[in-house]
Structure formats: C-alpha cells, structure tokens
Structure 1
Amino acid sequence: MLRFILWRISVMVPTLILISMLVFTIIQLPPGDYFESYVNELQAMGENANGAQIQELRHRYGFDQPQPIRYLHWVGGMLHGDFGYSFAYRMPVSDVIGDRIWLTVLVSFVTVIFTWLVAFPVGIYSATHQYSWGDYGLTFFGLVGLAVPNFILGLVMMYFANLWFGLSIGHLMDQQYLGQPMSWDKAKSILAHLWIPTIIIGTSGTAAMIRRVRANLLDELRQQYVITARAKGLHPFRALVKYPLRMSLNFFISDIGSILPAIISGAEITAVVLSLETTGPMLISALKSQDMYLAGSFLMCLAFLTVIGMLVSDIALALLDPRIRLQGRSTR
C-alpha cells in the first residue's frame, strides 16, 4: 500500500504539469488578451481607452513577453502562493475568490449531504422492494429528476415563487448583505436562503445516485453468499448491511474523485440562473473576458483537487473491498 501511494504521488507531479500546460494553452487560444477585450468593450460603449496606460499594464504583467516566459512566471507564482492579478476585478486572485469559495463550499457540502441522506434510504428501499408500487413510483420520480436540467428546475421554482408568493428566491443572502463582512445577521440570511439552491442543485445528483444504489445493491443481493446467509437464518437487516450494502458502495467511493472539485466549482449554469454568489458565475465571466490569471488559477485548483480525490478514492476502495488488488496479482 505504501509503495502504491508513493508511486501515485510521484505520478501526480507530471500530471499537474501537463494539465497546467494544457490550461495555459487553451486560455491563450482565443485571439487577443484581456486588454484588447477591454479596449473593444470601451469602444463599443463610445469611450476612449488610455493607450499608454494599457501598454503599461501589459508590460507590468508580462503580456509583451513570449508565452513560455509567461507560463513559467505563472506556474512559479502559484508555487509560491501567488495566483496572479485579476484584471476584471482589479485585485489579487486570492482576494477575488476568498468569500465566494467559502459560499461555494457551503452550498456544495450541504447539497452532497442532502443527496446522501435522500439517495441511500430511497435506493435501499427500491432495491429491497423490487417491482413494488413504491419501487415504480420512486423510479418514475428518479427518471424525472434525471431528465429535467437543474437550471430549468431553478427557472420554474423562481417563476412559481414569484407568482404565488411574490418572492424572489435568487441570491444566497438578502440584498443588504451583499459585499458586507460576515456577521450573525448575514449568516442567518445565508442559512435562510440555502435550502433553495440545495434542493435545485441536488435533484439530479440525488436521482442519479438512487439509480446507482439500486442497481449495485440488486446485483449484490443476487450473489450466492447472500442467499446462503438468508438460508442459514441470518436476520434480514444484518444480511443486507453486513456485506451486500458494503460491497455495493464501490461506485460511491469512486465518486470522491469528482466530488472534491465539484465542491468548489459548483453548478455553474444553475448559479448564474439563481444569481448565486459562488465561484461558478465568476469562472464563466473570467473565461469570457480572458481574465487569464483568475481563470487559469481556478482551473488548476480544480485539477489539483481531482488528482487528490482520485488518490483518496483508490485508497478507500482498497480498504473497503478486499477483492481489489493494487499489485495486480492473481489470487489462488
């Protein structure tokens, strides 16, 4: 196990280097840069741009240097904790994502907990009561949850909330707390608004996990060891929990690799529709405006969490399921 962990960590380094090259190249693919986009935006509004100031900013942040030099400066800065400067927000990247990332983590964490609390009991019931009316009903609602995109559900809820109650369910807090430091009143406002994006974002994930829990548990319940345990008179609950449920959780552990980056990326389109103060709309805006340091640093954060999540999921799978062999050796 130790050799496996050390080998995976050694592989993570060149993987992240290749990802950083790919991210930097993709961000540079569109013609021009942030400053050219900014000048074109000013001209579209009928304003004149200060050419000398633009050139000075380009020189200060190295946009007049070759791309390999800019890449090395960018990567070297991240290694020292300097994620660069956001031109759109006119502040360091770490300050831009500071408040937003904590709100994103809060929304995503509560959504993940909501998904687990709903999906596992429903999936277990559906698997143990196969082809019952309850199974058919839960399957129907699960398929509806998979078919309806989150942002469509958000638009529908916003429409009916405004039509029936005259309320706007957008944002994560009341308007007077936007841009204000954290306080007890602001925290209460966030908690009051939190349940709406949790339900909207968690609907499709809950429906998908219900289907996977049901399918994997049904596969395990048909195994010979479960039939033997029941024939020997083992209590049905123990016969379910002791081995079949544990063996059917492999997919759940494998999802850790995708859960970690999803926690800070959030549901981008849904966040835009609901006007949430999370990192999703910020990332889309940075990509559109070619705010290189903000977009690139955020994408590298997602890549780092992905490789860490894959390592954690592989180790957890080996501990959970003794049938998995890390060395690839056959058993006799």
Structure 2
Amino acid sequence: MLVYFLKRLTSVVLSLIMASIVVFVALEIVPGDPAAYMMGLNADLSAIEALREQMGLNASAIVRYMSWVAGMLHGDFGISYTYKVPVSELIADRLWVSLPLALFALVLSTLIAFPAGIIAAANRNKPADFGIMGVTQLGIAIPNFWFAMLLVFFFAITLRWFSAGGFPGWSAGFFIAMKSLLLPAVALALPQASILARVMRSSLLDTLSEDYVRTARAKGLTRQQTLWRHAVRNALIPVVTIIGLQFSFLLAGAIIIENVFYLPGLGRLVFQGITQRDLITVKSVVMLLVFAVIAITFLVDLAYAVVDPRLRRQSR
C-alpha cells in the first residue's frame, strides 16, 4: 500500500507542476495589458509603465512564475488587480457559493442515478430499460447551459416559482439560499446523473453475471433478494469512484452555469477576471480548481486501492 501511495503522490506532484506551467503560459499569451486596461484608453504611457512596475509585470516570466508558485505554497495568492484585495479573500467569499452548489448537484445526481440505474439493470432489454437509457442519452447530449436557460424560461419567467438568477446570501436564511441554488444544481446534476445511471446499470449487469450471484440464486434466493443483498453492494465500487470524480467536475465545471444564473461563485469570478484582465485572480482560481480536481482524484484512487487489493499487488 505504501508503494502505491508514493507512486500516486508522485503523480499528483508532477501533475500540479505541469498544470501550473500550462496555466501560467496560457494566461501569459492572452492579448491585452492589465495595466493599460486598468488605466483606461487615454492613459499616459509613463503612468502605465509605473503601474506595470508596481504590479511586477516588468519582471521576467520565470521570475513571475516562481514568485506566483512560492506565494501559493505559503497561502498567498497575490492581490487582485481589479478589486485591490487579496485573492484569497475573494476565493473564500466565492467558495461559499460554489462548494454548496457542487454538493447540492452531487446529491441530486446520486438520488436520480441510483434508482434509474438499478431499475434499468433489473429490467434489462425491457421497456423500462429502453426508456431510462433513452432519457440518459438525451441528458448526456443536451448541453447543461442550454438546459439551464430552459429552466429559467419555464420556472422563473413563465411560472415565476424561482428567481431568474442571483444569490441572496446565507444571511437571508438557509432555505432561501438553497432555493436560489436549486435550478443551477438541477442544471448541473442532470447530465451527471445520466452518466452515473449508465455506469450503475453497466456495473450492476456485470455483477449479476458473476458466479457467486448464480450460486445465490441456486441456493433459493429470489431475483430481488440476490439483487439487493449481493449485486448492488458489489456494483457500487466503480460507481463510488465516478461520484468522486463527478464532484471535482461539478466544482470546477460550473463556470457557465454560474454566469447563466448570475451566481457570485468561483466560476463567475474567473469569467470576470478574464474580461477585466485580472490575470493574477484568474491564475490563482484556476490553479485552485485544478488542485481540487487532482486532490479528489488522488483520494478516490486511494479509497479504491483500499477496497480493491488487486491494485496494491499490481503496484508491487
């Protein structure tokens, strides 16, 4: 287990280094000078140059990269060019929107996918199976931002059951805040639920074909008893892995949804940073999201290795 842990940890460190280089280089080639953008169209060139010096933009790319990475290792993400406050404060404020949204969407996705996948597997090649698989195929094909706009049109504009966007804050009350996150969470959850339901069905069908399941049936257990006592429990191992990966995707992939619903989360902060050339904010937030994805994947791999001893034997 120690060898497997060290291998995965090395992979995580290398992935973070490569990701930081890619993020830094990608934003370095983005057109537009942050200092010129902040000073306006008619700004004096000497004033722009002074601001560039103050912001550290005149240093070499290697120096700026090393300074940025060293700051992140100490928890210092720099000062936002636009808001003039530490980026860490902006991230902390916006995280209280993005994190509950991702968790809410994950719970909805799991509650939808588990029953759908089990029903489809239990009724293989029957109308229920074809119907569920057809709906999941549609859920995968429809972009979540288009589905989000449909939700806004029907439930906010037509029926007026929900607000079209915005977030009142947790100080307004838990249920009021969760109500404002419901439509965005549904828009994020349905495509993920479609994927998870298909994985659940496939895993359960593979488990039902195992010898120990046939042995349980031969001992007199009914199909339903075999399904719930043996098959479902063992089929959950790959499904739990997908759930962990989906959480990181929901946390990092809500940029468009947060902009559709005008939610003050990390995704909208990245979008605003790009439009305002606030590159230090964009780099720090994107790197934080990359770290979240890699860290969650690492923890899922470790959990999978604990459950499945074959991985530990392969690492040796």
> In the aligned structure 2, how far is the partner of 1:157 from the partner of 1:38?
37
CA offsets, 1:236-276, max 9 Å, x none? 45522444324333432333563353353242212211212
| 1:99 aligned partner | 93
**Match of residue 236, structure 2, among 223, 245, 249:** 249
> In the aligned structure 2, how far is the partner of 1:7 from the partner of 1:164?
54
| 1:264 aligned partner | 251
CA offsets, 1:36-69, max 9 Å, x none? 3445xx32xxxx3254443332112210111111
Is 1:239 the equivalent of 2:233? no
Is 1:2 the equivalent of 2:2? yes
Distance 1:11 1:98, change over 3 A: same
Distance 1:162 1:111, change over 3 A: closer
> In the aligned structure 2, how far is the partner of 1:152 from the partner of 1:117?
22
**1:107–1:198: 8 Å Cα contact kept in structure 2?**
yes
**Match of residue 191, structure 2, among 204, 208, 233:** 204
CA offsets, 1:5-37, max 9 Å, x none? 133224433332222122111110124432234
**1:172–1:190: 8 Å Cα contact kept in structure 2?**
no
Paired residue secondary structure (1:328):
helix
CA offsets, 1:180-220, max 9 Å, x none? xx52x244421222222121211111111111111221122
Structure 1 segment 118-133 matched on structure 2, within 5 A: 118-133=112-127
CA offsets, 1:67-122, max 9 Å, x none? 11111111111111110111122221112222211110001101101111111112
| 1:327 aligned partner | 313
**1:111–1:202: 8 Å Cα contact kept in structure 2?**
yes
| 1:16 aligned partner | 16
| 1:160 aligned partner | 154
Aligned-pair CA distance for 1:150? 1.4
**Match of residue 317, structure 1, among 300, 304, 308:** 304
Q: After TM superposition, which residue ranges in structure 1, 4 or more long, deviate above 6 angstroms?
A: none
| 2:163 aligned partner | 169
> In the aligned structure 1, how far is the partner of 2:247 from the partner of 2:160?
37
| 1:27 aligned partner | 27
Percent identical across equivalent pairs? 30
**2:24–2:65: 8 Å Cα contact kept in structure 1?**
yes
> In the aligned structure 1, how far is the partner of 2:132 from the partner of 2:188?
19
Taking structure 2 as the reference length, the TM-score comes to: 0.89
> In the aligned structure 2, how far is the partner of 1:188 from the partner of 1:52?
53
Aligned-pair CA distance for 1:231? 1.0
> In the aligned structure 1, how far is the partner of 2:129 from the partner of 2:104?
27
Paired residue secondary structure (1:30):
coil
Is 1:290 the equivalent of 2:274? no
CA offsets, 1:128-163, max 9 Å, x none? 111333223222322222222111112122222355
> In the aligned structure 1, how far is the partner of 2:173 from the partner of 2:44?
40
> In the aligned structure 1, how far is the partner of 2:162 from the partner of 2:30?
37
| 2:262 aligned partner | 275
**2:196–2:242: 8 Å Cα contact kept in structure 1?**
no
Aligned Cα root-mean-square deviation (Å): 2.5
| 1:146 aligned partner | 140
> In the aligned structure 2, how far is the partner of 1:288 from the partner of 1:251?
40
**1:173–1:190: 8 Å Cα contact kept in structure 2?**
yes
**2:207–2:235: 8 Å Cα contact kept in structure 1?**
yes
Aligned partner letter, 1:105: L
> In the aligned structure 2, how far is the partner of 1:14 from the partner of 1:265?
20
Distance 1:139 1:255, change over 3 A: closer
> In the aligned structure 1, how far is the partner of 2:118 from the partner of 2:219?
22
> In the aligned structure 1, how far is the partner of 2:308 from the partner of 2:234?
7
**Number of residue equivalences:** 316
Aligned partner letter, 2:92: G
Distance 1:92 1:54, change over 3 A: farther
Aligned-pair CA distance for 1:166? 4.5
Paired residue secondary structure (2:196):
helix
> In the aligned structure 2, how far is the partner of 1:223 from the partner of 1:17?
42
> In the aligned structure 1, how far is the partner of 2:184 from the partner of 2:206?
34
Distance 1:299 1:319, change over 3 A: same
Aligned-pair CA distance for 1:307? 2.5
